[in-house]
Structure 1
């Protein structure tokens, strides 16, 4: 079975439908996980998405957060949230089973500042994610967990690791919490294939010339289970959508699996 799985923080789905549609038409992934859709469920543009040739599952809230999984085939099953493990009212987790492949879409909290309660919530989110994976899945299953994790795992994932040291997004506590999720049995397939490549997925709107000067962060990741990661033959970051007019501040990532 071959799968092409993508992830894209669209930073507002309705504002990015044109960019998303063109990208899907060109790349034809089997499934794409979207983060920051920023639309409550009753207003989700289902028809517009389905006209792109995809089935869709979504979990959203007004103005903030929101996740969706678009797939060429309908999901065998899907759901959202951590269930009984954590009653979290933020729309950050969505999962689906697609032809024997579990696809988990994550939009992790940003964290604001290490002194802010939002930072503690971020660490708790990662703890709950690890516990949820342990309760529901096995690392031997075919599973992809992808999305915007809001963590640059290593210094190579930062444009200026000295200047940014200790900030939210690369704080040691965040990195440890994120690494604990991977220790369940996940592998970053981009890093598996490109151990020394400096490549970013996010460039802040607020930083003048961030894209042209490549002042970015790699915080969007495709993680594969131990049983699936060796089947990943390609993982790439597509810069083209970030260079378009009125883009997201993130750009898509894509991985191809064959087993």
Structure 2
């Protein structure tokens, strides 16, 4: 089973690229972050794309802002449900419950400005409490999405590793560490412990992507029992239509 996360940075702007990507990659599950569209605004080419069940948490909080989607390929899961969780704010989260696992797709707030930074920390705390409850129930968990935190110095290019920068602050890194403290594993880093310049997002500076001046903020965290079933991870560097690259994990279930 191939499971992807991709911050698409506007599904209407990326409709042709997304359709071509779905056709070529054929993910079993993909979480799309920052769709920037209400459900009624999802492009027809995506809404009617064959072979997938589609779930949307559209940008009702603010027009053209946030929003997530989750697509499940026909035949990949026998039974499941998908809906926003109780703690969701600003159309940032979808949760899929299947017999094998619970998958949480998230678009964590960036946190610019002190008010928005407080929102980010509260969201991460609520997300952690939700995961802790699932683990108490004995569920296997996959958390994936645009986390908007570079956890380690190795996860951000040295040119942008500036103290106090949003995405690098001690409090937000500690919040992600608390998620991992529940027992989740950062599977991309686990399988690439010393790999430098392993990035998933690049600023909109001239030639930043070509020079790989990026951050690793799109992540997949999962419980140890699921981690033992992982046969590979990847960052799809060939897909360049968004400022984020798709990230995937392959599970042998």
**What TM-score, normalized to structure 1?**
0.88
Q: 2:83 aligns with which of 79, 85, 89?
A: 79
**Are 1:253 and 2:251 counterparts?**
no
1:147 alignment partner, one of 145, 148, 152:
145
Deviation string, structure 1 residues 44-69 (Cα, Å, up to 9, x no partner): 33663442421111101120000111
1:6-34 Cα offsets, whole Å, 9 max, x none, are 00000001111221222222222110000
Which residue is equivalent to 1:100? Answer: 100
SS in 2 for 1:78: strand
Please show how residues 170-189 of structure 1 align to structure 2 within 5 Å: 170-189=168-187
- 8 Å CA contact 1:141, 1:228 repeated in 2: no
Paired residue secondary structure (2:144): strand
Q: How many residues are paired up? A: 246
Question: Once the 2 structures are TM-superposed, how far is the Cα of residue 99 of structure 1 from its aligned partner?
Answer: 5.5
Q: How far apart, CA to CA, are the structure 2 residues paired with 1:23 and 1:32?
A: 11
Q: Map Cα deviations across residues 216-248 of structure 1 (whole Å, 9 max, x no partner).
A: 000000111122112111111011111xxxx21
Q: Report the secondary structure of 1:227's partner residue.
A: helix
TM-score (norm: length of structure 2) = 0.90
Q: Deviations over 1:196-230 (max 9, x none)?
A: 1121000111x221011111000000111122112
Seen in structure 2, the aligned counterparts of structure 1 residues 183 and 132 have a Cα distance that, compared at 3 Å, is same
Runs of 5+ unmatched residues, structure 1 = none
Q: Which runs of 5+ in 2 are unaligned?
A: none
In the TM superposition, 1:219-238 aligns within 5 A as 219-238=217-236
CA distance 1:220–1:18, shift in 2 (3 Å): same
Q: How many Å separate the matches in 2 of 1:6 and 1:223?
A: 12
